[in-house]
Structure 1
Amino acid sequence: MQAAWNRAKTGIHKKVPHHNFMLWVEPLEYVAKQDEEIILSCPTVFFKKWLTRHYLRLIERELEGVCGGPCRVTLKVSDEPNGNGYHGPEDDQLSLPHVTDRQPMLSALHKDFTFDQFVVGISNDFAYNAALSLACSENACHNPLFLLSKIGLGKSHLSQAVANHILRNDPKIRVCYITAEEFTNAMICALRHDRIEEFKEKYRRQCDVLLLEDVQFLSGKAKTQDEVAFTLDALLEAKKKLIFTGTYLPGDIPKMDEKLASRLSAGIISSIESPDLDTRVRILKKKASLKQLDISEDVIHYLASKLTQNVRQLESGLIGVGAKASLLNLPMDTELAKSVVRNIVQRSREITIERIQRLVCKYYKLTMEEFLSRSRKRSIAQPRQIAMYLARRHTGESLQAIGRSFNRYHATTLHAVGTVERLIRENGPVQKQVEFLSRRLESGQL
């Protein structure tokens, strides 16, 4: 029967992408045959659940063709410990002392950012499988992994899904999920308080999995780049798992050290593109189900056909339809969806870099000549940075295009965006100013 299983695997390999076969089918092992039932072993409960949903019927058909009769496949989680040391939820979880000490490296994770909640399509299947493989494997064969995409396409979801999966399987693993900006701030704080050796110990020798988000923020920060490079060297040598995310390829990030760019690019680089129509439909259905919105197929397909930029835009449309129907006591039909979509699309078309510049000049009482000058006065430089941030947030233009509009290099634009993002997180006056200007832009009051 082992030979029959091997022939069936050969047939399956011809019908599914190679990376899917290696990830999901190759690890299966033949256990036994009892009448029409064939028992195969798989590594984890999650593996069994995913395989049952996607490939079980295909496996059964191939085995029926090889065996010449009906076959029913049963998947059994292996009794042997897998790479994560996880036997499944049926095992009793022993209570451990000092629970707060088990995850000293963990930053806040979004509990809903899991592999189960991620909608897979043509635009992201390779990234999904690469992330899942890294999360499940013991030897980290696809290490490191760099997830590349524009804002709102799911790279943070996938990176956090890796962390959530690993911690669910083995809470003792030390996972560090941190943004490049947080890493920079932590290093600066350690230097100021003469605790840099403690900082190095934490990130180089007390970390099993490092997830570093938004690496483009490292642009121009030479000392931080050096520390990141040393940290990556130490973790790679210790065969730890590494995942990076960014909106640009490491080699395209301005003022990025070549050696660090090389380290960030050393493994798999997987880009995530805008979802196609079928994927957008499934994303909307998934999110409607999670939000308990009873929306018809017609409305789902209309939203999916009109909102094509990213997942956040889809969610905005879905929330808009639900909120408008609830507040105005209207049916969630296509006409209601059209009114919501019209507002979203109209806003995205009307907001241009030139209009942002005019609005910011008006609000801060600057002439356009002062605004575009080389002046570094705070009263001019900060409004200019805010305008660059708003252009990046609302227009979808590239850093190069935004930089040209302000007579600046794209590296300056990247620095401006990072600076404003930091000021927003401080919840100070800049945060209120940015939100005020964003509301004016979105409402069309330019």
Structure 2
Amino acid sequence: MRTCGRILPIGSVSRPSPMTPTEHASAPACGQPEDRTRPSGSADFETHLKARLAEHIDPQTLAMWIEPLAIRRGEDGRITVFAPNDFVSTWVENHYLTLLREAATALIGEPPRVELAVDPDLEMRARPAPAEEPSADPDEGAPRAGRPGPVAGLCDRYTFERFVCGASNELAYSAARAVAADPGKRFNPMFVYGDAGLGKTHLLHAIAHAIRAHRPDLSIVLASAETFTNDYVQAARKGAYDTYRERYRSTCDVLLLDDIQFIAGRARTMEEFFHAFNALHEAGKQIVVTADRLPSELAGMEERLISRLSWGLVADIQPPDPELRRELIRRKAREDGLELAEDVLEVLATPSFRNVRELEGIVTRAAALARLRGVPLDVGLARQTVAELRTVHPATGSITVEAVMRLVARHFGLKVAELKGPRRHKALARARMIAIYLARELTGMSYPALGAAFGGRDHTTMLHAVRRIESLVERDPTVADTVLVLRRRLERPDG
């Protein structure tokens, strides 16, 4: 896996100095006559330079990108800009270096040589010190105040270590790492957008995992927009507004909200999110939101919310480029215990499939075909798999949820009414989950719509079923083969 990190500097930025900000601060200033307009000390120089930058940069941007920097002027006139991490250093280089150089020229009277460097100590010093543990616990064994429980809905597989990074998702990935390292201090709010299946949800879960690891005292709320809406509806029905607002406002330290586009047009839900956003942001709590498009393109979203969602960092995730497609295929094959020849990998990494789910799915399908036929996964089989998947167009609506139910019921010797009914014995439950999974994959129906079709079940039940089958397909060859056979029958009913 390629690790996202420092982008190599270009242009006139020189090689970083090994000196730390403290060492630069102790060095004498440039040998020019002092006057009232030119700061004599390095610390004074930083203060004056940031003050000049503040004349050209709005306060939100200044606090996000400039204030975390340590700027030192050496005795040879060289200026070194220290950033707390690679991501901030790269961002400053790409967006503010020219402005920074112009401001420095105005201060010292000549164009300076500027270097960029990273000092991780800046990040550590910026973090608040963790609260001290009490010396004695009078109620040992009872839950401790300020020690939140597990994060509901957190997926073990979605970590930073398992996220495959490339040029198409580097900004979002690097920013997510920075947010996880210092929640509420930088990139707040953070808005990530992109098409389905590109890794937005993965990044949300990865942030939660990383924050739990180094800040277990923080309360993290990880939810979809649908869950946020349904929680509000339930609170309204029960008159339990205080409980709802406690969860999303007063006791929440980190709010990770997926698919915010689904609250657009829902006036009361937008009102609740507006107040939750304000309460969290004013308290310095971290907010990360995902959507399938830019804030300005969220039809039906209130202007005041669009404005707030655009306050911080807006990062997009694009479809994977060829290099990233190959790495995604390679990673998935390795996880499944497959050895793919390079020519097979090249065939499977076709540009026809534009998101992570599709690319992982093609590996699963090709492997299942090889097992069913008892043949090796060679170039011929890879080409056949790709050709078959290219002919599938679920969005056309040719496959319906009713067709999925009928086929699955017939395959397992059940009745459609049983798939919709309340019984939950093991064989029936497995068949129902497979039907839900296939319906979701092949029709693109929303989880609430699926729930209505399957006997009025809650959307969270649908989500659980889909994730359960996704997990089983990856590790249980029997389930993978069953899903493959049923899918092929649905996609090619006359074949």
What TM-score does the superposition give when structure 1 sets the normalisation length?
A: 0.63
Query: Shift of the alpha carbon at 1:234?
Result: 0.4
CA distance in 1 between counterparts of 2:146 and 2:337 reads: 37
Unaligned runs of 5+ in 2: 1-11, 18-63, 71-82, 87-117, 131-136, 407-437, 467-482
CA distance in 2 between counterparts of 1:121 and 1:106 reads: 28
CA distance in 2 between counterparts of 1:173 and 1:263 reads: 23
Percent identity over the alignment? Answer: 31
Counterpart in the other structure of 2:396: 353
Are positions 1:327 and 2:372 aligned together? yes
**SS of 1:191 mapped into structure 2:** helix
Are positions 1:443 and 2:443 aligned together? no
Counterpart in the other structure of 2:253: 208
Per-residue Cα deviation, 1:84-122 (whole angstroms, up to 9, x for no partner): 6899xxxxxx99853798335822111121112111111
Counterpart in the other structure of 1:387: none
Query: Shift of the alpha carbon at 1:322?
Result: 1.9
Amino acid at match of 1:319: T
Are positions 1:190 and 2:190 aligned together? no
Counterpart in the other structure of 2:157: 112
CA distance in 2 between counterparts of 1:276 and 1:181 reads: 31
In terms of Rg, which structure is larger? 2
1:288 pairs with one of 310, 329, 333: 333
Counterpart in the other structure of 2:169: 124
Counterpart in the other structure of 2:298: 253
Query: Shift of the alpha carbon at 1:297?
Result: 1.7
Kept after mapping to 2: 8 A contact 1:150/1:247: yes
Q: Structure 1 stretch 336-345 or stretch 98-107: which is displaced more?
A: 98-107
**SS of 1:160 mapped into structure 2:** helix
CA distance in 1 between counterparts of 2:395 and 2:217 reads: 49
1:162 pairs with one of 167, 191, 207: 207
Residue correspondence of structure 1 range 12-411 to structure 2 within 5 A: 12=15, 98=143, 102-104=147-149, 106-137=151-182, 140-348=185-393, 351=394, 353=396, 355=398
Amino acid at match of 1:108: G
Q: Structure 1 stretch 207-216 or stretch 137-146: which is displaced more?
A: 137-146
Per-residue Cα deviation, 1:58-106 (whole angstroms, up to 9, x for no partner): xxxxxxxxxxxxxxxxx9997996666899xxxxxx9985379833582
CA distance in 2 between counterparts of 1:86 and 1:321 reads: 51
CA distance in 2 between counterparts of 1:157 and 1:293 reads: 23
CA distance in 2 between counterparts of 1:239 and 1:190 reads: 26
**Distance verdict in 2 for CA 1:288–1:217, change over 3 Å:** same
Kept after mapping to 2: 8 A contact 1:120/1:128: yes
Counterpart in the other structure of 1:410: none
Counterpart in the other structure of 1:420: 449
**Distance verdict in 2 for CA 1:275–1:100, change over 3 Å:** farther
CA distance in 1 between counterparts of 2:314 and 2:150 reads: 25
CA distance in 1 between counterparts of 2:119 and 2:260 reads: 41
CA distance in 2 between counterparts of 1:80 and 1:309 reads: 36
Kept after mapping to 2: 8 A contact 1:105/1:176: no
CA distance in 2 between counterparts of 1:356 and 1:140 reads: 48
Query: Shift of the alpha carbon at 1:313?
Result: 0.9
What TM-score does the superposition give when structure 2 sets the normalisation length?
A: 0.57
Kept after mapping to 2: 8 A contact 1:114/1:158: yes
**Distance verdict in 2 for CA 1:295–1:242, change over 3 Å:** same
Q: Structure 1 stretch 152-161 or stretch 111-120: which is displaced more?
A: 111-120
Counterpart in the other structure of 1:381: none
Amino acid at match of 1:299: V
Query: Shift of the alpha carbon at 1:250?
Result: 2.8
Per-residue Cα deviation, 1:138-163 (whole angstroms, up to 9, x for no partner): 55221111110111000001111111
**SS of 1:305 mapped into structure 2:** coil
CA distance in 1 between counterparts of 2:124 and 2:311 reads: 30
CA distance in 2 between counterparts of 1:258 and 1:417 reads: 26
Q: Structure 1 stretch 203-212 or stretch 101-110: which is displaced more?
A: 101-110
Query: Shift of the alpha carbon at 1:444?
Result: 2.6
**SS of 1:140 mapped into structure 2:** coil
**SS of 2:207 mapped into structure 1:** helix
Kept after mapping to 2: 8 A contact 1:149/1:271: yes
CA distance in 2 between counterparts of 1:238 and 1:291 reads: 44
**SS of 2:391 mapped into structure 1:** helix
Query: Shift of the alpha carbon at 1:137?
Result: 2.3
RMSD across aligned C-alpha pairs, in angstroms?
4.4
Unaligned runs of 5+ in 1: 1-8, 15-21, 29-41, 48-74, 88-93, 364-389, 397-415
Q: Structure 1 stretch 215-224 or stretch 317-326: which is displaced more?
A: 317-326
Per-residue Cα deviation, 1:289-324 (whole angstroms, up to 9, x for no partner): 222212222211111135432111111111112222
**Distance verdict in 2 for CA 1:324–1:166, change over 3 Å:** same
Counterpart in the other structure of 1:386: none
